[in-house]
Structure 1
């Protein structure tokens, strides 16, 4: 195994971590100026709209889980509705077997603005215009293009170039941007300021009217009423489960947070008894992930009771016995990476926030609301099915299945132990389980945890890639002998480059002395910063 590329950041006061230095610096500056973890999260969110525009934006979705100093844990979910006219027949009548990922038909009402407004109302100490003005100024003058953004534009170049407003920002001179090239976005700067002054305008004002008109003109069956209905995100309790002596708090439906709890219940005691990243440990976690994906595809709607039934004690025990006997069945539904980013923050009072937001796939639906700089998501194309009778079959004003989730772990007495998240489509629920195991089964520090070799089961359950053969994808830093043993155990092993699995994990841990340690994933450009 390779050693971590850097030691964890340490602090006895406060800490932030994100996938880009500019975002981490924005959060650290807010904490240093006396803001709390919610303030820091909101500031980082706005900066990541600029530093990682292929992954997240105002036109996407967002989720947060918050730990309060008194031990209370609450969540905010920003996931928008599909269109009011979005019946399965509407799409099938157009000859579609899946909802397109590019263009207006793949869009849901963005949930991020509502989630951010609810997060702010839940405990911020600074007004949104103050927290978001630095991002607006940066958008005006243009942030230097990162390596990740340049790669994202190259990946989606033809679709980006097909939208005039996307092309104007991200294809200067008709080519992908160079790393370090400034990308001014004056329209987005105006939108950030307007959203900070009045988040509701996004759903009921001029912005909403402009967005709905554009989508309807492009053939999407939005009425406009579904936009107004998405304006408020109500805080909810977290869902919880136990693992290795901790309580893991997860974001509820429509997120797949329950899938992490499902895997934790199936791995409890079994993975910790094995050597770290041994073939036996990887085998158990991989087969637990496959069961979770099978159950999600077969049983769990974004808005139903299937997840609660999956986590029922007797059912978990039956599946644990099947895993031990290596008797589970496999289905073939493929998983794909996603384009998402996350942040974590802990303040001096002990408040903690794990936050994640996304456009779906790279640059979402690749369409911009005219004159606003806002790229819209493709979450409907990703998470709504055209499989007749499926639990997540598309329906009018229905939230599609989601991939985003975030977690916080507490001790038996309610004390904060750790928080984290990791983007990457259906990889998220697997890699979060791996992070939790690294931390609590084996006592790794955050830098070791985010740098550890990663593995991913394929298939998962994305709507557009059902039916591909199953694989166990492992990074090359997993030793040859371990890979050979996994093949003997029945896995079709596919080797990825070192740090090639995807995702960009962020973790902060608090020890018994109250000292914080944190780290950002070396797979991207992020950094953890402590503030004393």
Structure 2
């Protein structure tokens, strides 16, 4: 497909040596600066992520988690799970004793151990060429001397004002006269700058031990939390082998659970059973198939996906051809499945994403998050660390795959991905947007593979998802009314979404032409760049 130059949009970035795509322009600039000074893709990715921890505080922070895939020029991949666990003392029994039957999003119990900083250090030791002192300079400068609030950041900030007002420390640091800062206003986070300096000086230990750790533990204890210094000190990043599945001649790599990446592969497996290319990419038929595949795949997710040490079913079984066939038989081309039957699922027996590719062909697909906007809304005041609320996805009561337990990692929505073609690096990509991410991966890949879109066009293309409670479809406004009418004829309840769905970055590697082709989502503030 070719871009319509009379319609709103932008071209992908074409570059020969290196490319970066992030959701914030200051992060993209930081990554390019590192690359042009001789750093590699991992160095650049960490520099960019650190900047985003300052300038996109509603989406990410050093108080959150991280996942990454690093791909060598020959196609070898390494996965990194930088998600933290629940405090050792936080069990269903303890919650029951306290009368807690559901974990609230702004509760101290929703705060699991932040894994991002340990993951930065692990990535640097494994693949980096620079140190924290060099890579955190821009982030420290923005936290100390200020940064201008970007338009999308402002919009998200405004929506989070009630959460921030509810925490005295957060309100003092993140609100201006009780309101969100205006677009273009300069914000500074001096306490966060000091913590970043501690990390630059002492590595991850500057976060997980000492004054910063003590501040986090004391803040949570005051709110009824049970996290300890030992919990923080035990934070570690797990090296994992990506899970692979082919889709129409392309190999898609996702990280294994506790993330939902395998669900993107389940979706692609279901969609591969149908001739998507026979339908227009904007047609009711295409979105019907995508949403039916998503509804089934997400039911699989909710039934099985959690910390792999607690899973009853392995990922190989979930991706087996006979199981995908079993699930695909539920899909009708002309009619919505009324409900996804639970007994048919058993096999028979607010986030930033960035991508960097450097001049030597090393690729990084990295995603980092505090989960919901501004995470838990709990700010550790002395260290300036906004704490995520990833534990909100846990179930408080026993009997579920994702039931909380001491030392258990929760099911994660954030997932980086990578694609190979003929065994060689082809596409570094990811999608932001909470639960939407697995569906977003499938949407992006089918846009490129089935419909011939370039990365920017595939990112721009209108999205749809379903309400996790009612299964009503929610469509972005650029999906035409005729498509929505067609979906209603298939039995779907359809409504317009109240806001843009997610965000995305991608870099395609064209080996034949020696080119990098990068795109960044207009739903966010960022852009792609290269040289």
1:341 pairs with 2:352 = yes
Separation in 2, partners of 1:79, 1:99: 18
RMSD: 1.9
> 1:391-420 CA deviation, whole Å, 9 max, x = no partner?
1111111111110001110112x2111111
1:473 pairs with 2:478 = no
CA contact (8 A) 1:405 1:421 kept: yes
Separation in 2, partners of 1:161, 1:480: 39
Separation in 2, partners of 1:206, 1:215: 14
**Cross-structure match for 2:458:** 449
> Which of 84, 95, 102 in structure 2 is aligned with 1:98?
102
> 1:63-105 CA deviation, whole Å, 9 max, x = no partner?
1111111210111111111122211232234333320111312
> Which of 420, 425, 439 in structure 1 is aligned with 2:429?
420
1:522 pairs with 2:529 = no
Separation in 2, partners of 1:471, 1:398: 32
CA contact (8 A) 1:244 1:440 kept: yes
CA contact (8 A) 2:61 2:385 kept: yes
Q: Secondary structure at the match of 1:235?
A: strand
> Which of 383, 386, 393 in structure 1 is aligned with 2:403?
393
Query: Which deviates more, 508-517 or 353-362?
Result: 508-517
Q: Secondary structure at the match of 1:173?
A: coil
**Cross-structure match for 2:345:** none
> 1:206-234 CA deviation, whole Å, 9 max, x = no partner?
3222212221222112233222221x213
Separation in 1, partners of 2:99, 2:156: 30
Pair 510,429 (structure 1): closer, same or farther in 2 beyond 3 Å: same
**Cross-structure match for 1:194:** 198
CA contact (8 A) 2:66 2:81 kept: yes
CA contact (8 A) 1:19 1:521 kept: yes
The alpha-carbon deviation at position 313 of structure 1 amounts to 2.2
CA contact (8 A) 2:336 2:491 kept: no
Separation in 1, partners of 2:477, 2:176: 37
The alpha-carbon deviation at position 139 of structure 1 amounts to 0.9
CA contact (8 A) 1:262 1:292 kept: yes
Pair 49,310 (structure 1): closer, same or farther in 2 beyond 3 Å: same
CA contact (8 A) 1:58 1:110 kept: yes
1:312 pairs with 2:316 = no
> Which of 340, 344, 352 in structure 1 is aligned with 2:363?
352
> Which of 31, 52, 55 in structure 2 is aligned with 1:27?
31
Pair 439,281 (structure 1): closer, same or farther in 2 beyond 3 Å: same
Separation in 1, partners of 2:259, 2:313: 13
Separation in 2, partners of 1:134, 1:526: 17
Separation in 2, partners of 1:472, 1:128: 44
Separation in 2, partners of 1:95, 1:488: 46
1:205 pairs with 2:213 = no
The alpha-carbon deviation at position 269 of structure 1 amounts to 4.8
> Which of 139, 144, 156 in structure 2 is aligned with 1:135?
139
Report the count of equivalent residues: 513
1:255 pairs with 2:259 = yes
Q: How does 1:54-73 map to 2 (within 5 A)?
A: 54-73=58-77
**Cross-structure match for 1:432:** 441
**Cross-structure match for 2:79:** 75
CA contact (8 A) 2:259 2:306 kept: no
**Cross-structure match for 1:464:** none
Separation in 1, partners of 2:289, 2:159: 34
Query: Which deviates more, 73-82 or 308-317?
Result: 308-317
> Which of 236, 241, 249 in structure 1 is aligned with 2:240?
236
**Cross-structure match for 1:463:** none
**Cross-structure match for 1:11:** 15
**Cross-structure match for 1:284:** 289
**Cross-structure match for 2:346:** none
**Cross-structure match for 1:321:** 329
**Cross-structure match for 2:226:** 221
The alpha-carbon deviation at position 422 of structure 1 amounts to 1.2
> 1:162-216 CA deviation, whole Å, 9 max, x = no partner?
3333222221233321111111111111111111222123223332222122212
Q: Secondary structure at the match of 1:361?
A: coil
**Cross-structure match for 2:491:** 490
The alpha-carbon deviation at position 384 of structure 1 amounts to 0.3
Pair 153,24 (structure 1): closer, same or farther in 2 beyond 3 Å: same
**Cross-structure match for 1:462:** none
**Cross-structure match for 1:504:** 503
The unaligned stretches of length 5 or more in structure 2 are: 343-349
Query: Which deviates more, 136-145 or 88-97?
Result: 88-97
> 1:34-62 CA deviation, whole Å, 9 max, x = no partner?
21111110110011012210110000001
The unaligned stretches of length 5 or more in structure 1 are: 334-338, 460-467
Q: How does 1:96-175 map to 2 (within 5 A)?
A: 96-175=100-179
CA contact (8 A) 1:300 1:307 kept: no
Separation in 1, partners of 2:320, 2:158: 45
The alpha-carbon deviation at position 507 of structure 1 amounts to 1.1
CA contact (8 A) 1:258 1:307 kept: no
CA contact (8 A) 1:80 1:108 kept: yes
The alpha-carbon deviation at position 386 of structure 1 amounts to 2.5
